[in-house]
Amino acid sequence: MRLQAKTALIAGAASGVGGQLMGIGGAVARLFAAEGAQVIIADIKDDVGEQTVSELRDFGADAMYIHLDVTDEEQWQQAVTATTEQFGKLDILVDAAGTSFRSKVEDQSLELWDLEMDIHARGAFLGTKHAIPEMRKVGGGSIVIVSSIYGMVGSMSTSYPTAKGAMRNFTKAAAIQYAGENIRVNSVHPGFVMTPLTESIFTEPGIINPRLALVPMGRLGTTEEIAKGILFLASDEASFVTGAELVIDGGYTAQ
C-alpha cells in the first residue's frame, strides 16, 4: 500500500476498464487504487471514465470521476476544487492526457499545431498551477507529467515532439521553483506502448515493425510498465527525486 491515505488526481485516465486496452492514465488509476490511494479520474470520455470508476469502487477503492478538458483553466479549477471537497486534500497529480497527429513541417496545419500544444504543454501548465496551492497546504506533493521519448529526440512528426519537449522543460522549471516546498515535479518518457491512442498505427506491420527494429528489447512496452514507473515517482520512495526524467522505452533512446 505505497499510496495509503494519498489523494491522486489523474488527468487522461478514463480508459481503465478491465479486459479492454487501457491508456497509460487508466493503468495508473487502477494501480494507484490498488496501492491505497483515493483516486480521481479526470477526462473528456465521460462514459468510459464512469465505467472505470465503477469498477474501482467494486474492488473497494475510493474513486470518483470528473469531466476535464485539460486545455480549459476553469475546468482545472473545478477539478481541483471537487477533489479537495470530496477528499479534503490533494497529494498527487498525474497529467497523462494526450493526443497525436503525424505530419511534416510543411504539411502541419496551424489548427493541429495549436491543439497539440494546448493539450500537452498548456494542460501540464494549468494542472500544475492549480495543484500547487493545495499541495502546499499539506506540506508537499508529487506531480508527474507524462511526456514521451519524443520529448527528448526528434521524429517524423512536428507538433507532437515539440509539445512533448515543452512538457519536459516545463517540468524542470516547476521542479526548481517548488523544490523548497517539498513539491516534486518529474516527467515520464514512455517509448512505444500499445494504447487506445496508438492502436490504429501499431497494428500496421509497415509502421510497427521498423519501430520495433530500433528497440533493443525488441517489443512494445505495456501501460502497466509505464504505470509502475509513475507509481514510484508519485510515492514517498521518490522523496529526493525532482526535475528528473524517467525514460521507459526498452533502450530506444540509449543508442
Active-site residue list: 160
Answer whether 231's CB lies under 8 Å from 31's CB.
yes
Measured distance CA(199)–CA(190) in Å, rounded:
15
Report the Cα 9 to chain-centroid distance in Å: 10
**Buried b / exposed e across 145-177, counting CB within 10 Å, b at 16+?**
bbbbbbbbeeeebbbbbbbbbbbbebbbebbee
Question: Which residues contact residue 255 at a Cβ distance below 8 angstroms, ignoring those fewer than 6 apart?
Answer: 214, 216
Backbone angles phi, psi at 7, to 5 degrees: -110, 125
Q: DSSP secondary-structure letter at 122?
A: I
